[in-house]
Structure 1
């Protein structure tokens, strides 16, 4: 999984090549991004990835 910070949003690219863009949530955030049931919280070199219907997954750079 690759997470690319675009400023007001992040682009998440999975190992299957599919990508999804998540906006900042709320819009003035630079560490929390999400849409509907998917979210990413970035904290330094770690990220918590939450996808609707799945257990949260902790990731490191």
Structure 2
């Protein structure tokens, strides 16, 4: 996902990339990268770089 407000004097853009991949039969790995402004309402005016890692349990 890419987001931009198109204000050249105070640009507040954001980039988010997510990928999931199989680990074993019913479990997937998950990686997320976020860079920019406004990932949450608390961070709307702070620049943030974040990497998230997790697992997804699929239906049995």
TM-score, structure 2 length as denominator?
0.35
The higher radius of gyration belongs to 2
> Which is richer in strand?
2
RCO higher in structure (CA 8 A, sep ≥6)? 2
TM-score normalised to the size of structure 1?
Answer: 0.35
